[in-house]
Amino acid sequence: MWKYILKRLVLLIFTLFLVITVTFFLMQIMPGTPFNNPKLTPEALAQLKTTYGLDLPLWQQYLNYLIGAAHGDFGTSFQYQNQPVSMLIGQRLPVSAQLGAQALVVGVIAGLIMGAASARNKNNKIDGTLGVISTLGISIPSFILGIVLVYVFGFKWPLFPVSGWGDSFSQTILPTIALAVSPAAVTTRFVRSEMIESLGSDYVQLAKAKGLSAKEIVNQHAYRNSMIPVLTLIGPMAAGLLTGSTLIEQIFSIPGIGQQFVLSIPSKDFPVIMGTTIVYSAMLMVMILITDILTAIIDPRVRLQ
């Protein structure tokens, strides 16, 4: 187990190193610079380049960046002068994390309930309705859902505020729903098929033969055994929520890391783009590693090589 975790950690650090390297050199060949203001004199431009360390040879810049990144320092933003990227990310990450966590919790719980209801009512009306809902949930992108929610609950029936963050909890409701629908739909489908499989398995037959009620069987046997595969879904889902919220943050003007990422693209704020990329990738990898480890702990049948 420890050996496996160690191996995965080494691969994780190696991957991160690759991501940093690739993004660093990609940024070098990106067309355009943030300093193309015609008002800048050559002297001022040189001054700016020195400030940001852009006059050094490339390999030295790369080394500096690597060393900095290892210490959690991702350089200075071009756009917001003298603001370290790590600080900008540090301010905005909690907002995105809160939104993502809310959506994940709501989505997974809704998915568990709907999936179980669907499996227990296999092939009847309830199952059919839930099937339609989950298929719709998968085919509607979260940003379109966000727009529709803004229109319906913001403008037609103004029940919730349509933008902003941090003033009241009600501001988080619409973006949370918009983000939670797709995880809920995916979980529903997954739980349904897992549960149908476990309801047909030998231990459920045995429990039936012993005279347990349908409710007891579902709650004590089927649910627990369909829970483990759901865990493997959560890691990628959590990471998907992070990137999915990029557009949702923009639609609802939520000051999260995704909104900052989008804003830094047209202004060619390369340090911010790079920093965000690295943070996103690191989070995705860590989350997948954590789910893999959790699965192994909970399900003794899974052996980590």
Partner 1 sequence: MAANTQDFVIVGAQSSEANEHISKPALSFWQDAWRRLKLNKLAVISMWFLVLILAFAVLSNFFVPQKQANAFNSDKVGVYKNLPPNSSLPIPGWNGKIKAPGDTTATDVYESQGVPENKKFILGTDNIGRSVAKRVTVGLRISLLVAIVATLIDLVVGVGYGVFSGWKGGWVDNVMQRIIEILSSIPNLIIVTMLGLLLGGGVLSIILAIAMTGWLGMARQVRNMTLTLKERDYVLAAKSLGESSFKIAVKHLIPNMAGTIIVQIMMTVPTAIMFEAVLSAINLGVKPPTASLGSLISDAQAMLQFYPYQVLIPSAVLVLVSLAFILLGDGLRDAFDPRASED
Q: Which of 117, 140, 290, 296 binds partner 1 (CB under 8 A)?
A: 140
Q: What is the rounded CA–CA span in Å between residue 68 and residue 26? A: 18
Residue 177 contacts residue 105 (beta carbons within 8 Å): no
Closer residue to partner 1, CB minimum distance, 91 or 193 = 193
Q: Which of 60, 135, 163, 253 binds partner 1 (CB under 8 A)?
A: 135
CA dihedral 88, 91, 93, 95 (to 10 degrees): -140
60 binds partner 1 (CB under 8 A): no
Q: What is the rounded CA–CA span in Å between residue 157 and residue 153? A: 5
At which residue do the structure tokens 């340090």 appear? 271
Q: Which of 6, 18, 63, 302 binds partner 1 (CB under 8 A)?
A: 18
Closer residue to partner 1, CB minimum distance, 156 or 210 = 156
Closer residue to partner 1, CB minimum distance, 21 or 213 = 21
Closer residue to partner 1, CB minimum distance, 56 or 243 = 243
Residue 153 contacts residue 81 (beta carbons within 8 Å): no
266 binds partner 1 (CB under 8 A): yes
Q: How far is CA 178 from CA 78, 103, 147, 167, 168, in A?
A: 32, 8, 9, 19, 18
Q: Which alpha helices (H) appear in 140-222, and where do they start and end?
A: 142-149, 173-199, 202-209, 214-216
265 binds partner 1 (CB under 8 A): yes
List residues near partner 1 by CB under 8 A.
Answer: 11-12, 15, 18-19, 23, 26, 29-31, 122-123, 135-136, 138-141, 143-144, 147-148, 150-151, 155, 196, 239-240, 242-243, 246-247, 250-251, 261-262, 265-266, 273, 277, 280-281, 284-285, 288
